[in-house]
Amino acid sequence: MKTWDLIKTANRNLFRNKLRTILTVLAIFVGSYTLTMTNGVGDGMRDYVESQIKNIEGDRVAMVRKKIETPNGPSSGAAVEYKDESEEADEAELDPNTVLLTQPQIDAVVRDIPGIVGTTPRYSVRGEHISVEGSKKYKLELGMLSDGLVAKTEAGKSISGPNQIVIPIGLARALDEKIENLVGKTATIGYKVPDGSIKTVPLTITGVMTKGFMTNNNSFVSADVAKQIYAAQSVQEGPAKFIGFTIQMDSSDPTKIAEIKKQLDAKGFEAETVADTQQRTYDAIGIFKTGMNLFAMVALLAASFGIINTLVIAVLERTKEIGLQKALGMGRGKIFTIFSLESVLIGFWGAVLGAGAAIVTGLAANQVFVKFYARSFEGFSLFAFKPLSIAAIMLLVCAIAFVAGVMPAIRASRLNPIESLRYE
Amino acid sequence: MLEAKNLSKTYTSDGVDYEALKDVDLSVRRGDCIAIVGKSGSGKSTLMHLLACLDAPTYGSVLIDGRDTSAFTERTKNALRNEKFGFVFQQFFLNGRDTVFENVVLPMRIRGASNSEIAKETTAALDAVGLADKVNKKAKDLSGGEKQRVCIARALVGRPEVIFADEPTGNLDSSTGAAVEKMLFDLNRDQGITLVVVTHDSDLADRCDRVIEMKDGRIVADKQREAAV
């Protein structure tokens, strides 16, 4: 029997008992619908988060900080011996009592690790206000963009030198409705110094940043500007201490980065690249998505018993017909194929209808969602349907249906022709 | 062309053996028209099933054109039944919801024949049984006699060498039964198709050239009709 004939026969057999087939397809439909929806929510979240966390780029940069020591560290509750800070101590030696680091300590850490070409300490700075060429003053959230990191922009470009600033889109819109006009203008930013007065510094706006989780609503300046502000704001005595630093590496090769991380780890430091941060977020969403999909899989599992039931009954109903087909020379394999095809077709129709309905309702839900929440979640679609995901879901549903059909199909293929023809 | 040697078949059900066929020897020649008669339980159907390779003997062997079928694989036996044998059953075994065409075409589909071949052979087979005008009718809408003629067309469509007919007139009234009988005998006479009829209808048996009578799993008589000799 030719393949096309087998498919036609299977399809015809299915629609001989329309009601039963439709009910079984409906069960698969529910499972497939649920799976498409849960997967769509997961993809929607991932898309949104992706757009949000990709607004800072830099593949040769890693954030480094001292590991918080466990099991003997403070969090374990065990007593830790206090070591007096000795005057004669080597200034590059690490102080085990704190995670804070001085510049000489940072230099000492990276000195003999090949592949690290530079470091930037994490200067924490506080901004006060910002204005552009005599405009109203707006409150300023200020951050530092380490060398090697690039901010994604809606207009203009990221900072590339001293005395520059990139500003967030919300602030930019307040300053000028046409954000492009701001690029190249001079912004005056103010920051508070310990005596309570406010100092100002003029900076050139190089760009307007794309919105994202990782940057909140911060404006960013380069390390030089941050260092200058930090020095003015610092109230600490003695050498400046930082909670971490950024390293610039000579390569974006993952194996080289991994080697650098390993060496830092051996010295008691953990390093995280932008990709690591993104991956951690993706992993979290992946777990969420998998959890949701598991619920849908339960529905599919239940539906697969419906397929088994339908086919077992079909085998009984068609025992004589199977007997005749075998008598007329149809082999076991072909009988098995016909029944398997029937179950795969049930799965296929359920998958197509389920995914179709899910896409329609999902897209409609997106419309409603955009209407109500567009302002707080710019660029967010509740459901995202990707052709590859949909294809994978359909394939999975068909595979589940096939597995469900194996037992009845084997039963059919093993029927004895004479006994089957006599079956009442 | 068909030969049975020391053919025995034992069925076991609930641990009790039942010998349906005991040491049967039989030779069927090409073009023969044979009736296998006997009461129910005499083993006539079992003999037919074994000859038609629908079942495997417990002992002994069936030879087709001198080749021992017990050495055949399942696939070879399937191909053999599909290409060399045709079957007509008492209960028709038609698919009522399908058209006459789809019912007749089944052996050709199983064989994997081309569409043009299917069309040609099906038309020829339906012409031979006089049902060319009913080709698109649903099988369930036919009369009993027409149904059995569709079955004959189905048996005929693959151009078999042997047609096995199991009580072909058992479900028909005498006049339609006679028409079906005539059709089978004509095929035997005109096309040289070997005919093996299993029946307990003595009228039908008497019209065959050779009558094999069975009782308790053995052949008790093998009569050649005088006129045919």
Average pLDDT over residues A69-89: 59
Mutation to test the B interface, candidates A328, A335, A421, A422, most B Cβ within 10 Å: A328
Q: Based on the domain organization, do A344 and A415 belong to the same domain?
A: yes
How far apart CA A411 and CA A311 sit, in angstroms, is 10
Check whether residue A169 and residue A196 sit in a common domain: yes
* A112: Cα separation from own chain's centroid: 35
Contacts of A418 in chain B (CB under 8 A): 49, 54-55
Q: What is the DSSP string of B80-131?
A: HHHHHEEEEETT----TTSBHHHHHHHHHHHHT--HHHHHHHHHHHHHHTT-
φ and ψ of A271, to 5 deg: -120, 140
Summarize the confidence of residues B71-95 as an average pLDDT: 94
Task: Choose the closest CB to A329 out of B82, B89, B91.
Answer: B82
User: Given this model, what pLDDT does residue A377 score?
Assistant: 64
Please report, rounded to a whole number, the percentage of residues in chain B having pLDDT higher than 70: 98
ipTM of the complex as predicted: 0.93
CA distance A8 to chain B (A): 11
pLDDT for position A214? 67
A181-195 pLDDT, tens digit per residue, is: 899 999 999 999 998
Span B148-152, average pLDDT = 94
Of B52, B78, B97, the CB nearest to A331: B78
Chain B CB contacts of A321 under 8 Å are 93, 95
Which one of B11, B48, B51, B54 makes the best mutation probe of the A interface by having the most chain A beta carbons within 10 Å? B54
Which of B79, B91, B95 has its CB closest to that of A329? B79
Same domain for A330 and A418? yes
Instruction: Specify whether A255 is located in the same domain as A350.
Output: no
- Check residue A48 and give its pLDDT: 84
DSSP letters for A325-367: HHHTT--HHHHHHHHHHHHHHHHHHHHHHHHHHHHHHHHHHHH
Percent residues over pLDDT 70 in chain A? 92
Contacts of B106 in chain A (CB under 8 A): 324-325, 328
| Exposed/middle/buried for residue B113 (C-beta within 10 Å: 0-12, 13-18, 19+) | buried
- The DSSP symbol for A183 reads T
Amino acid A376: pLDDT: 62
Contact B87 A418 (CB under 8 A): no
Q: Do residues A168 and A213 both lie within one domain?
A: yes
A117 with A230, same domain? yes
Residues of A in contact with B91 (CB under 8 A): 320, 421
Burial of residue A419, with CB atoms counted within 10 A of its CB: 0-12 exposed, 13-18 middle, 19 or more buried: exposed
Q: Is the dihedral of CA A99, A103, A107, A110 positive or negative?
A: positive
Backbone angles phi, psi at B96, to 5 degrees: -60, -35
Nearest CA in chain A to B112: A1
Q: Are B107 and A329 within 8 A, CB to CB? A: yes
Which of A238-242, A272-276, A374-378, B3-7 has the highest average model confidence (pLDDT)?
A: B3-7
Which residues of A, range 316-335, sit inside 8 Å of B by Cβ? 320-321, 323-332, 334
Q: Evaluate if residue A170 carries a pLDDT over 70.
A: yes
pLDDT value, residue A81: 67
- Residues A201, A73 share a domain: yes
State the total domains in chain A. 2
Q: What integer pLDDT is reported at residue A69 of this predicted model?
A: 64
Please indicate whether, in this complex, the C-beta atoms of A421 and B107 are within 8 angstroms of each other: no
A373-380, Cβ contacts within 8 angstroms, sequence gap of 24 or more: A377/A48, A378/A211, A379/A48, A379/A51, A379/A211, A380/A44, A380/A48
Residue B199 has pLDDT above 80, yes or no: yes
Which of B97, B98, B110 has the CB atom closest to A1's CB atom?
A: B110
Residues A85 and A226 in one domain: yes
Q: Any chain B CB within 8 A of the CB of A4?
A: no
Cβ atoms of A36 and A250 within 8 Å: the answer is no
d(CA A321, CA A162): 85
Give the pLDDT confidence of A259-305 residue by residue, as tens digits: 999 999 988 899 999 889 888 888 998 999 999 999 999 999 999 99
CA distance readout (Å), B171 to A245, B151, B155: 96, 13, 18
Looking at the fold, whether A363 and A268 belong to one and the same domain comes out as: no
* Shortest Cα distance, chain A CAs vs residue B173, angstroms: 22
pLDDT for residue A417 is more than 60? yes
Tens digits of residue pLDDT in B105-145: 999 999 999 999 999 999 999 999 999 999 999 999 999 99
Q: Which of B45, B84, B106 to mutate to test the interface with A (most CBs of A within 10 A)?
A: B106
| Alpha-carbon span A98 to A69, nearest angstrom | 10
Which DSSP string corresponds to chain B? Answer: -EEEEEEEEEEEETTEEEEEEEEEEEEE-TT-EEEEE--TTSSHHHHHHHHTTSS--SEEEEEETTEEGGGS-HHHHHHHHHHHEEEEETT----TTSBHHHHHHHHHHHHT--HHHHHHHHHHHHHHTT-GGGTTSBGGGS-HHHHHHHHHHHHHTT--SEEEEESTTTTS-HHHHHHHHHHHHHHHHHH--EEEEEES-HHHHHTSSEEEEEETTEEEEEEE-GGG-
pLDDT grade for A177, boundaries at 50, 70 and 90: confident
Give yes or no for residue B212 having a pLDDT over 80. yes
Contacts of A16 in chain B (CB under 8 A): 97
Q: What is the DSSP letter of A179?
A: G
Rounded CA separation B27/B5 (Å)? 9
Does residue A74 register a pLDDT over 60? Answer: no
Taking 50 as the threshold, does the pLDDT of residue B229 lie above it?
no
Q: What is the mean pLDDT of residues A165-189?
A: 90
Q: Which domain holds residue A356?
A: 3-54+280-422
Residue-level pLDDT at A84? 65
What is the band of A218 on the pLDDT scale with cuts at 50, 70, 90? Answer: confident
Give CB contacts under 8 A, 24+ apart, made by A409-413: A409/A311, A409/A335, A409/A336, A409/A337, A409/A338, A409/A339, A409/A340, A409/A343, A410/A336, A411/A312, A411/A315, A412/A315, A412/A318, A412/A322, A412/A335, A412/A336, A412/A338, A412/A339, A413/A332, A413/A333, A413/A335, A413/A336, A413/A339
Domain identity same for A43 and A65 = no
Across the interface, of A323, A325, A417, the residue whose CB is closest to B110 is A325
Residue ranges of A 10-39 with Cβ closer than 8 A to chain B? 12, 16
Q: Provide the 3-class DSSP secondary structure of residue A105.
A: helix
Q: Output the pTM of the full model.
A: 0.79
Domain boundary among A226, A253, A273: A273
Of the listed ranges A39-48, A81-90, B218-227, the one predicted with least confidence: A81-90
Interface of B to A at Cβ within 8 Å reads 49, 52, 54-55, 74-75, 78-83, 87, 89, 91, 93, 95, 97-98, 106-107, 109-112
CA distance A409 to chain B (A): 18
Name the average pLDDT for chain B: 92
Instruction: Spell out the domain ranges in chain B.
Output: 2-228
Q: Does the distance separating the beta carbons of B112 and A331 come in below 8 Å?
A: no
* Band of residue A87 on the pLDDT scale cut at 50, 70, 90: low
List Cα–Cα distances, A84 to A66, A304, A316, A342, A350, in angstroms. 20, 70, 87, 79, 72
- Is B80 in contact with A329 (Cβ distance < 8 A)? yes
Cβ–Cβ < 8 Å for A346, A308: no
Across A124-139, average pLDDT: 90
Contact A334 B112 (CB under 8 A): no
Cα–Cα distances in angstroms (integers) from residue B162 to residues A179, B5, B31, B107, B194, in the given order? 91, 19, 8, 14, 5
Over residues B12-30, mean pLDDT: 91
Same domain, A50 and A64: no
Comparing CB atoms, the residue among B74, B75, B82 nearest residue A328 is: B82
- CATH T-level fold of B2-228: Rossmann fold (3.40.50)
pLDDT at residue A78, as a whole number: 64
A298 touches chain B (CB under 8 A): no
The Cα of B229 is separated from the nearest Cα of chain A by a number of Å equal to 33
Please tell me whether residues A143 and A27 are part of one structural domain: no
How close, in Å, is residue B144 to chain A by CA atoms?
18
Contact B145, B153 (CB under 8 A): no
Beta bridge partners of A204: A164, A186
Q: What is the rounded end-to-end Cα distance, in angstroms, of chain B?
A: 19
Distance, in Å, from the CA atom of A188 to the CA atom of A203, rounded to the nearest integer, reads 6
pLDDT for res A281: 86
C-alpha dist (Å) from residue A31 to A17, A286, A290, B205, B213: 22, 20, 15, 61, 62
Strand, helix or coil at A422? helix
pLDDT at A72: 54
pLDDT in tens, A7-55: 988 998 998 889 999 999 999 999 999 999 999 999 988 888 887 777 8
A-B CB pairs within 8 A amount to 56
Is A297 buried (19+), middle (13-18) or exposed (0-12) by CB count in 10 A?
A: middle
Are residues A190 and A199 in contact, defined by beta-carbon separation less than 8 angstroms? yes
Residue of A nearest to B82 (CA): A329
CB A26 within 8 A of CB A204: no
Taking the alpha carbons of B196, B198, B201, B202 in that order, is the dihedral positive or negative?
A: positive
